[in-house]
Amino acid sequence: MRNKILLLAVAIDLTLGDPSNRWHPVAWMGNLIYRLRQHAPQRGKLLYGAGIAWGGAVLVWWLGVQVSKIIDSLPQAVQPLAKALILKTTFSLRGLHNAAVEVETALATDDLPEARRLLSWHLVSRDTSTLDEAQISAAAIQSVAENTSDGIIAPLFWYGVGGLPTALAYRYLQTCDSILGYRDAEREWLGKIPARTDDLLNLLPARLTALSLILLRPRAYHIWRRDARLTASPNAGHPMSAMAGALAIELEKVDHYCLNIGAKNPQKRDIQQARRLMLGGVGVFLLGLMTVLYAQD
């Protein structure tokens, strides 16, 4: 039944997209983390941040177990659909695809201000006010690659490992890192444990994402092997360097890293190729995951 749930969840995502924040479990997780952040003490932030991350993850996992038990008590015919609806909320393939399309469309009309706005609104947290077309394209492609890993493949991977409760717990911890995992004065210590936990949970998914892209474009292998460790993150460099190699482009974040240095600068048309690779990479991963789950059932 797990494979049926996976396919239903992906189909729901591609056809219906995300529910409104009012009904979205990840939005509820974010609201909880923001509220807990507001009550952070001046001392003991490291332990408080650990409590937010690990205590919240245990709570979300437990709630996932209870919801799964309730669904298991329903008629068997509706159980896969009910679980797929919840699993879908842990990832957003359609949302990532459409966000990249919006940036690409703005670039196609030479509307750089709108492309910068959409890039910062949907895909990156950095300052985009001075980026040119190549830099906007690079940032969009970097975000597509990284989010393919931690926003799509990782929750599906953890669903395969531990079912719906584990996928929800992963999504909580990833949300925790996205809110707290910054090195500013307020969150330097508060977000340290959430960030390191997120790094640990994404070790395998990041590399599986890179492998999926390499299987589609074997020429990416050399760049992945050479450049995957050039980023500060232990994981982000894997899907991004594989994407850079697959597209034969340079992906640079100024003053941070440069992947596939010396290759051509990315252009707006490369965002389209990145989207196609994202869809193909997710498909390759799903095929592998479903094969493993089928062998276990």
What does pLDDT average to over the chain? 95
> Would you place residue 105 in the very low, low, confident or very high pLDDT band (cuts 50, 70, 90)?
very high
pLDDT at 41 exceeding the cut of 80: yes
Q: What spatial distance separates the first Cα and last Cα of the chain, rounded to whole Å? A: 8
Percent of the chain with pLDDT over 90: 90
pLDDT confidence of residue 21: 87
- φ/ψ of 252, rounded to 5, equals -120, 135
pLDDT confidence of residue 89: 96
Strand, helix or coil for residue 249:
strand
pLDDT at 297 exceeding the cut of 80: no
pLDDT in tens, 220-275: 999 999 999 999 999 999 999 999 999 999 999 988 999 999 999 999 999 999 99
The structure tokens 């990833």 sit at 174
DSSP 172: H
Alpha-carbon distance of 132 to 171, in angstroms, equals 33
Name the residue range of residue 16's domain.
2-296
pLDDT confidence of residue 127: 86
pLDDT confidence of residue 114: 96
Alpha-carbon distance of 160 to 185, in angstroms, equals 37
pLDDT confidence of residue 126: 85
pLDDT confidence of residue 219: 96
**Mean pLDDT confidence for 27-36:** 95
Question: How many of the other CB atoms lie within 10 Å of CB of 88?
Answer: 24
Cα distances (angstroms) measured from residue 236 to each of 140, 151, 276, 279: 14, 12, 19, 18
pLDDT at 97 exceeding the cut of 90: yes
pLDDT in tens, 119-147: 998 899 888 989 999 999 999 999 999 99
**Mean pLDDT confidence for 83-88:** 97
The structure tokens 């020429």 sit at 219
Alpha-carbon distance of 33 to 273, in angstroms, equals 36
Our count of domains for the chain comes to 1
pLDDT in tens, 167-202: 999 999 999 999 998 888 888 899 999 999 999 999
Percent of the chain with pLDDT over 70: 100
Alpha-carbon distance of 170 to 227, in angstroms, equals 27
**Mean pLDDT confidence for 6-21:** 94
Look up residue 178 and give its two tokens: 């996205």
pLDDT confidence of residue 36: 95
pLDDT in tens, 139-175: 999 999 999 999 999 999 999 999 999 999 999 999 9
